[in-house]
Amino acid sequence: MIKNQDHSVKEKADTSMSLETIIAMGLFGWIALSMTLMGLGIW
């Protein structure tokens, strides 16, 4: 039973970590896109 709890906790940690990574990558991508458009004079 303890092993099952540890496994579920690890799965939750992996899920939250991947979600944070997706948000960080999306934010970085948005900043890069904004800088590119400003550099081209579009934005």
Residue 43 to residues 7, 9, 29, 32, Cα–Cα distance (Å): 47, 44, 16, 13
The per-residue pLDDT for 30 is: 95
The per-residue pLDDT for 1 is: 47
The per-residue pLDDT for 28 is: 95
The per-residue pLDDT for 34 is: 92
The per-residue pLDDT for 42 is: 74
Residue whose C-alpha is closest to residue 38's, from 26, 30, 25, 22? 30
pLDDT tens per residue across all 43 residues of the chain: 455 555 555 556 565 668 889 999 999 999 999 999 998 887 5
